[in-house]
């Protein structure tokens, strides 16, 4: 296939638009399947989707894609045009989902600059068979033909109203496309669509080029005729028209006003029968009934479509913007907290710096918000997986989704789709039992998977919970022990450690036939993916009751509100969400257990103490509790108290990751990253979750 003439932006737009359509289509199918039929709206929408894909793919010369879309469009055409038609719903859904998968693969190929060469033969056959069956079943063999011929009239189509009286000239143009260029109507439409910027008004014939496939034959036979009124020079228009792709011949010249008027009169005498299809509005649902439209209406429609409210931006640019805002925040702090300026106590300076602070923090919020995307699309995809899996394994599983409106960073979304898929697949395949087994165990016949997302401090938690058979601790342990992954005895390991073994890359599933078989297929990939974005995976399970997998994902690259503390020469920053309180204890409140561990009693509750200088082996003069300060931190209802020398104050900081060199050496426990303080020095950010926290419960 020769794509040499396709310019990149066009291809990019095509891929973007088509993948969006495919995604929406997939969701629509899943929703429809839940209800058990297609609503009239859905049918129209699917029809329109396929139509768009057909058109744009043909434009891009992706013929296979286009043909398939055409066939599906035919099916929905029949369904749409014949109220109460009977059709095999589930086969149709399967058919279309299969096509959706095909499109996805092809789109990836196109994106990678390969030729979309997937074979559609079997798919097309399937769709064809279905269409034949559909027609036969309903005795509609001829309907389509009749419908099409019905609207075959010469209409003049009005694209752009004249806004002012001007000394415009009139031209006529006749375009003949090359033979076998296919989709002449779409190509003609492109010509019209792009020329409107150049001309005042353009009328053309045949007029219903988009909606009526018959117009192709017309254009092939008689050429595509345009009447143009324009203030642009003849040369400009000619040049534009000559650029038309697949142009065979162009007959262009100035025309008499009378001739134009005549053209126009024919147009005005006629009523517009067809609905208006304009690509920009095609996102919205346009009523597909034949509506008579007044000239005014069309005018509005056309202007409405010219305003675009969404643009797509390269993520790299956003990253850069994000970095720069980060630097700006640091620079702002450097200026407004400059000790020398602060000492001067200038009122106007304070006012101005407050204003600056307000603006920069709003700017920051905005940049963050731009990058945030709701999880809903990712979650939606899981419905599809559940559907396919339940079909294949003939299990009855329902997926409940909560908190899909939770927003996370764009980069993160891309990284969690695969892990989620793995986990859900595993849950259905190996977690949830067959219907009979479930009933025998006293569970409801229908298995359930709960997919939930929620914010928790500076993290987002994604919880996948099934009510299947759960993980068998003993068996996992034995397996791991035999494979030499662990050496400890089972008593020395706590449940979570054992469950975590399933994430171990070396934990092989071969020759496993029992309950947890397969659990772990791809689980190391899950762990790796999540860790690559700084998250963590927590596995919990109750044998016989089900398994819960929690993905803890940071809102990374975040600018966080942090509490700066000092230990000796080192500075640390604790995310403010983790800090509960800070206080200076008396030494009498400290309790020591026989092992020498220290605890403190606060309001009747006992908290463990972590001395930071001891923990990290730092040198400091402040070693006793009277001179230091305790900071109580909490994460996930687990808390501890950290001993530091002093508090330095609260500040917004940009989280930067530690240099790769250091990360390659060692994952230093409790360090989540680093940041620059106002004076340019570096502070290490503490990840409270990695300290030895303990459950402090009020009993």
Partner 1 sequence: MNEDMNGLLEDQEEDTQKGKFLTFSLGEESYGIDIMYVTEIIGIQPITVVPELPDFVKGIINLRGKIIAVMDARLKFNKAPKEYNDRTCIIVIDIAQLSIGIIVDAVAEVINISDDNIVPPPNLNSGGRKYIKSVGKSENSVILILDCEKLLDEQEIDELKSSND
Q: 216 phi and psi, to 5 degrees?
A: -60, -50
Tally of residues, the chain: 699
Minimum CB separation of residue 676 from partner 1 in Å reads: 6
In the bound complex, what is the minimum distance in angstroms from residue 450's beta carbon to partner 1?
A: 37
Nearer CB in complex with partner 1: 304/662:
662
Instruction: Rank residues 552 and 571 by Cβ distance to partner 1 and give the closer one.
Output: 571
- In a 13 Å sphere around the CA of 36, the CA atoms on its Cβ side amount to 0
- Judged by CB, which is closer to partner 1: 113, or 617? 617
CB 559 within 8 A of CB 327: no
Q: Which is nearer to partner 1, 511 or 569 (CB)?
A: 569
CA dihedral 73, 78, 82, 88 (to 10 degrees): -100
Q: Which is nearer to partner 1, 481 or 615 (CB)?
A: 615
Helix (H) or strand (E) holding 460: strand 459-466
Minimum separation from the CB atom of position 689 to partner 1 (A): 17
Taking the complex as a whole, the smallest distance from the CB of residue 573 to partner 1 amounts, in Å, to 12
How many whole angstroms separate alpha carbon 305 and alpha carbon 307? 5
Please choose, from the candidates 377, 430, 386, 422, the residue with its C-alpha nearest in 3D space to the C-alpha of residue 97. 386
Of 461 and 567, which has the nearer Cβ to partner 1?
A: 567
How many angstroms separate the CA atoms of 565 and 561, rounded? 13
Task: At 696, give phi and psi (nearest 5°).
Answer: -115, 105
Is 370 or 662 the residue whose CB approaches partner 1 more closely?
662
Distance CA 616, CA 368 (A): 33
| 535-574 footprint of partner 1 as x/- string (CB under 8 A) | ----------------------------------xxx---
Backbone angles phi, psi at 520, to 5 degrees: 120, -15
498: helix, strand or coil: helix
**CA dihedral sign of residues 428, 434, 437, 442:** positive
Instruction: Write down the least CB distance from residue 674 to partner 1, Å.
Output: 6
Question: Considering only residues 82-121, where is the footprint of partner 1 by CB under 8 A?
Answer: none
Q: Which is nearer to partner 1, 5 or 661 (CB)?
A: 661
Q: Considering only residues 603 through 642, tell me which ones interact with partner 1, judged by CB under 8 A.
A: 615-618
Burial label, 17 (beta-carbon count in 10 A; 0-12, 13-18, 19+) = middle
Which residue, 282 or 683, has its beta carbon nearer to partner 1? 683
CB nearer to partner 1: pick between 324 and 606: 324
Which of these, 63, 603, 45, lies nearest to 286 by C-alpha position? 45
> Alpha-carbon torsion 305, 247, 210, 39, what sign?
negative
Assigned token pair, 420: 């989620």
Q: How far is the CB of 636 from partner 1 (least distance, A)?
A: 24
Smallest distance, partner 1 to C-beta of residue 148, A: 54
Site for partner 1 in 313-332 (CB under 8 A): 327, 330
Residues 652-671 that bind partner 1 (CB under 8 A): 656, 658-662, 664-666, 668-669, 671
Beta-bridged to residue 643, according to DSSP, are: 611, 630
Radius of gyration in angstroms for the set of CA atoms belonging to the chain, rounded to a whole number = 33
User: Residue 523's closest CA among 386, 426, 383?
Assistant: 426
Residue 420 Cβ, how far from partner 1 at the closest point, in Å?
30
Residue 649 touches partner 1, criterion: CB under 8 A: no
Q: Is the dihedral of CA 354, 357, 363, 364 positive or negative?
A: negative
Helices (H), 163-256: 184-195, 214-222, 234-242
Instruction: State the nearest-atom distance from the C-beta of 616 to partner 1, in Å.
Output: 4
Structure tokens at 345: 């106590």
Minimum CB distance to partner 1, residue 614 (Å): 11
Q: In the bound complex, what is the minimum distance in angstroms from residue 665's beta carbon to partner 1? A: 6
Residue 316 or residue 436: which is nearer to partner 1 going by CB?
Answer: 316
The DSSP secondary structure of 518-572, one letter per residue, reads TTTTTHHHHHHHHHHTT-EEEEEEETTTEEEEEEEEE--S-EEEEEEEEETTEEE
Question: Smallest distance, Å, CB 496 to partner 1?
Answer: 20
CB 431 within 8 A of CB 519: yes
Nearer to partner 1, 265 or 662 (CB): 662
> CB 442 → partner 1: shortest distance, Å?
46
For 609, phi then psi, to 5°, come to -115, 135
Q: Which value, to the nearest 10 degrees, does the dihedral of the CA atoms of residues 642, 648, 652, 656 take?
A: -70
Instruction: Return the closest-CA partner of residue 403 out of 379, 439, 427.
Output: 379
Q: Which of 603, 666 has the CB closer to partner 1? A: 666
Q: How far apart are CA 134 and CA 140, in angstroms?
A: 8
Residue in 442, 412, 620, 630 with CA at minimum distance from that of residue 535: 412
The residue (of 84 and 617) whose beta carbon lies closer to partner 1 is 617
d(CA 75, CA 77): 5
CB of 113 to partner 1, least distance (A): 22
Binding to partner 1 (CB under 8 A): which residues in 668-697? 668-669, 671, 674, 676, 680-684
Rounded CA separation 219/223 (Å):
4
Please, what is the minimum distance in Å from the beta carbon of residue 660 to partner 1?
A: 6
231 by DSSP, 3-state: which?
coil
Nearest-approach distance from CB 163 to partner 1, in angstroms: 50
Give 460 or 685: the residue with its C-beta nearer to partner 1: 685
Residue 407 C-beta: closest distance to partner 1, Å: 27
With CA atoms as reference, report the closest residue to 641 among 597, 595, 593: 597
Span 326-365, contacts to partner 1 by CB under 8 A = 327, 330
Q: How many residues bind partner 1 (CB under 8 A)?
A: 28
Question: Is the CB of 489 or the CB of 681 nearer to partner 1?
Answer: 681
CB of residue 408 to partner 1, shortest distance in Å = 24
Q: Which is nearer to partner 1, 652 or 683 (CB)?
A: 683
* Residue placing its CB nearer to partner 1 in the complex, 378 or 683: 683
Give residue for tokens 């300026």: 341
Residue 487 phi/psi, 5-degree rounding, is -120, -20
Binding site for partner 1 (CB under 8 A): 327, 330, 569-571, 615-618, 656, 658-662, 664-666, 668-669, 671, 674, 676, 680-684
């Amino acid at each position: 296939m020769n794509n040499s003439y396709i310019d990149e932006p066009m291809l990019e737009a095509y891929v973007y638009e088509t993948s969006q359509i495919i995604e929406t289509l997939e969701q629509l199918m899943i929703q429809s399947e839940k209800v058990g039929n297609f609503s009239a709206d859905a049918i129209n929408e699917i029809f329109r989707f396929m139509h768009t894909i057909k058109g744009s793919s043909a434009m891009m010369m992706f013929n296979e894609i286009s043909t398939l879309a055409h066939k599906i469009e035919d099916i929905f055409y029949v369904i749409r045009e014949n109220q109460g038609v009977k059709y095999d719903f589930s086969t149709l859904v399967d058919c279309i989902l299969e096509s959706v998968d095909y499109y996805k693969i092809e789109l990836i190929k196109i994106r990678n600059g390969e030729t979309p060469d997937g074979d559609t033969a079997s798919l097309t056959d399937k769709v064809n068979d279905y269409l034949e069956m559909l027609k036969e079943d309903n005795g509609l063999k001829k309907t389509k033909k009749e419908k099409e011929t019905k609207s075959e009239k010469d209409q003049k189509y009005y694209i752009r109203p004249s806004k002012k009286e001007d000394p415009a000239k009139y031209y006529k143009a006749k375009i003949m496309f090359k033979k076998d260029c296919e989709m002449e109507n779409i190509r003609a439409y492109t010509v019209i669509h792009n020329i409107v910027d150049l001309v005042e008004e353009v009328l053309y014939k045949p007029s219903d080029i988009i909606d009526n496939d018959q117009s192709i034959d017309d254009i092939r036979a008689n050429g595509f005729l345009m009447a143009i009124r324009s203030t642009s020079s003849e040369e400009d228009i000619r040049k534009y028209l000559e650029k038309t792709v697949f142009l065979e011949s162009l007959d262009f010249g100035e025309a008499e006003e009378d001739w134009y008027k005549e053209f126009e009169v024919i147009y005005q005498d006629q009523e517009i029968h067809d609905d208006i299809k304009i690509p920009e509005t095609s996102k919205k649902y346009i009523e597909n009934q034949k509506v008579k439209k007044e000239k005014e209406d069309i005018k509005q429609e056309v202007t409405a479509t010219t305003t675009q409210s969404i643009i797509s931006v390269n993520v790299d640019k956003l990253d850069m913007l994000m970095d720069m805002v980060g630097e700006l925040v640091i620079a702002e702090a450097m200026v407004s907290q400059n000790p020398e300026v602060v000492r001067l106590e200038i009122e106007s300076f304070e006012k101005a710096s407050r204003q600056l602070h307000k603006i920069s923090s709003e700017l920051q919020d905005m940049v963050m918000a731009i990058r945030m995307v709701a999880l809903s699309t990712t979650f939606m995809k899981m419905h599809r997986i559940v559907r396919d899996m339940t079909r294949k394994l003939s299990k009855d599983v329902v997926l409940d989704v909560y908190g899909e409106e939770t927003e996370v960073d764009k980069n993160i979304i891309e990284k969690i789709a695969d892990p989620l898929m793995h986990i859900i697949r595993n849950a259905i395949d190996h977690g949830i039992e067959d219907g009979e087994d479930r009933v025998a165990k006293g569970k409801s016949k229908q298995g359930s998977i709960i997919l939930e997302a929620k914010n928790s401090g500076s993290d987002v938690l994604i919880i996948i919970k099934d009510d299947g058979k759960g993980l068998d601790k003993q068996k996992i342990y034995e397996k791991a022990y035999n494979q030499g992954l662990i050496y400890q005895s089972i008593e020395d390991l706590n449940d979570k450690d054992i469950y975590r073994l399933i994430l171990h890359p070396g934990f092989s599933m071969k020759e496993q036939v029992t309950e947890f078989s397969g659990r772990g297929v791809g689980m190391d990939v899950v762990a790796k993916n999540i860790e690559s974005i700084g998250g963590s995976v927590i596995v919990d399970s109750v044998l016989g009751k089900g398994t819960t997998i929690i993905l803890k994902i940071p809102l990374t690259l975040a600018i966080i509100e942090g509490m700066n503390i000092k230990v000796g020469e080192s500075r640390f920053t604790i995310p403010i969400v983790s800090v509960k309180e800070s206080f200076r204890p008396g030494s009498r409140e400290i309790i020591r257990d026989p092992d020498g561990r220290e605890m403190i009693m606060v309001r009747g509750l006992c908290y463990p103490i972590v001395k930071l200088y001891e923990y990290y082996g730092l040198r400091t003069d402040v070693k006793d509790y009277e001179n230091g300060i305790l900071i109580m931190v909490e994460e996930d209802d687990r808390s501890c108290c950290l001993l530091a020398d002093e508090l330095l104050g609260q500040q917004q900081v940009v989280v930067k990751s530690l240099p790769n060199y250091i990360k390659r050496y060692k994952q230093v426990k409790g360090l989540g990253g680093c940041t620059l303080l106002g004076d340019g020095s570096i502070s290490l950010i503490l990840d409270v979750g990695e300290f030895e926290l303990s459950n402090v419960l009020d009993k």
